[in-house]
Amino acid sequence: MKPKRHLPAARDLIIIVPWFWLALFFLLPFLFVLKISLSEPALAQPPYLDLIREVEEGLVTIMLNFGNYQLLLQDPLYLSALLGSLQVAAISTVCCLLIGYPMAYAIARSPAHWRLPLLMLIILPFWTSFLIRIYAWIGILKGNGLLNNLLLWSGLIDAPLEIMHTSLAVYIGVVYNYLPFVILPLYATLIRLDLTLLEAAADLGCRPWKQFVLITLPLSLPGVLAGAMLVFIPVMGEFVIPDLLGGPDTLMLGKLMWTEFFSNKDWPLASSLAALLLVALIVPFVLLRHFERKAEERAT
C-alpha cells in the first residue's frame, strides 16, 4: 500500500509546475489587465488612476469603474469590431481547413521517404520573420505588384486588381500565415489512422468516397478541432496582418485594441476590450469541453 500512497503526492508535485507557470505568466498578467480595465483613464504616467485611493488621512476607498465595459456594450463600434474579428477568424479557419486538409492527407498518404521533405516545405517559411513574409505579400498584391503584373502580362486582365487594403488581402495573409497550424495537427492524426479500417469499410461495401466520409473524416476530427483552434484563437486577436494588408473597412478587435492603447492612450478601455475578448474565447471552449464530456459519459 505504501507506494500507492506516495504516488498521488508525486503526481500533484508534477502538476504544480504547469499550474505555477500558468498562474505566473497567464493569470497574473490577466489580473493586471482586469485591474486596469476597472480604473479611470488619466493624463499621467501610467495613464490611469489607481483603484485604491487615499481619500483622507488613513481612509482608503476602492473605486471600481465599470464605465469602460458599459461603453463597450453601448458603442456599436466595438460590437462590429467583435463581429468583424469573428467573421475573419471563422472564414479564415474554414479556408485553412479546406486547403490544409487535402495537403495533410496527401502528405500522410505519400511514400514514407517523401513525408519528411514535404513537411519541411510546410515549415520552411517559418525560418523567415513573420513581418518580412507579410511585407512580401504587399509586394505581391499591390497595384503594380507581382500578381497584377503577371495577370496583365498574360492578358487575363486589362487593369490592375485592387487587392491591397481590402478584406481579401487580409484573408490571403491570414490563411497563408496560419495554414501550417492546421496541416501539422491534421497530418499527425491522419498518419496514425489504421488503414485496415478503410479496407474493412471497402470490404463491407463502401466506395472510396464513402470510406473517407464515414471513416477517415470522423476519425480525424480531433486533428480538425485542434487545427481550427490554433487558427481561430490567434486570428481573433490578430493585429499585424489586418494593419499591414487591410484597409479602412477592415474592423477587427486587435487593430482597435492597438488604437486604444497607443493612439488614444486609453489603457482602461483597451484593457476591458482585452478582457472581453478572453471571455468571448474561453466561454465557448469551456462549453464545448462540457458537451464533449457529456457525450462521452453517455457512450459509456
Partner 1 sequence: MATLRQFKPEEPWQAPEGEPLVRIEKVTKRFGSFYAVDEVSLHIHQGEFFSLLGPSGCGKTTLLRMLAGFEIPTNGRIFIDGQDVTEMPPYERPVNMMFQSYALFPHMNVADNIAFGLKQERMPKGERQARVAEMLALVQIEKLAQRKPHQLSGGQRQRVALARALAKHPKILLLDEPLGALDKKLREQTQFELVNIQERLGITFIVVTHDQEEAMTMSSRIALLHDGRVEQVDPPRRLYEFPSTRYVASFIGSVNLFEGYVVQQDDDQVIVQCDQADTLLQVRHSQPLVPGMAVTVALRPEKMRLIGQITPDAPNQVRGIIKEIAYLGDVSIYHVELGSGKRVQFTQSNVQALAEQPLSWDEEVLLGWSANSCGVLTE
Give me the residues that bind partner 1 (CB under 8 A), please: 194, 196-197, 199-207, 210, 214-215, 218-219, 299-300
Identity of the residue, 31 or 221, whose beta carbon is nearer to partner 1 in the bound complex: 221
CB of 289 to partner 1, least distance (A): 19
Which triple of cell numbers denotes residue 114?
A: 517523401
Least Å from the CB of residue 295 to partner 1 = 12
CA distance 247 to 198: 47
Place of cell 469602460: 68
Spacing of C-alpha 260 from chain mean position: 21
SS3 48: strand
Q: Residue 6 or residue 210: which is nearer to partner 1 going by CB?
A: 210
Nearest CB to partner 1, comparing residues 99 and 214: 214
Nearer to partner 1, 146 or 217 (CB): 217
Amino acid at 265: K
Q: Minimum distance from CB of 106 to partner 1 (Å)? A: 22
Residue type, 256: L
- Cell numbers for 227, please give them: 487545427
The Cβ-side half-sphere exposure at 285, using a 13 Å CA radius, reads 13
- 67 class by beta-carbon count within 10 Å (0-12 exposed, 13-18 middle, 19+ buried): middle
Report, in Å, the least distance between residue 227 CB and partner 1.
19
Closer CB to partner 1, residue 24 or residue 200?
200
β-pairing, 59-62 vs 52-56, is antiparallel
C-alpha span between 37 and 25 (Å, rounded): 18
Shortest CB 224 distance to partner 1, Å: 13
**Cβ distance 170 to 141 under 8 Å?**
no
What's the closest the beta carbon of residue 231 comes to partner 1, in angstroms? 24
Give the nearer residue to partner 1 in terms of CB position, either 83 or 188.
188
- Integer angstrom CA distances of residue 17 from 10, 12, 29, 223: 12, 9, 18, 27
- 215 vs 276 by CB, closer to partner 1: 215
Minimum Å distance from CB 291 to partner 1? 17
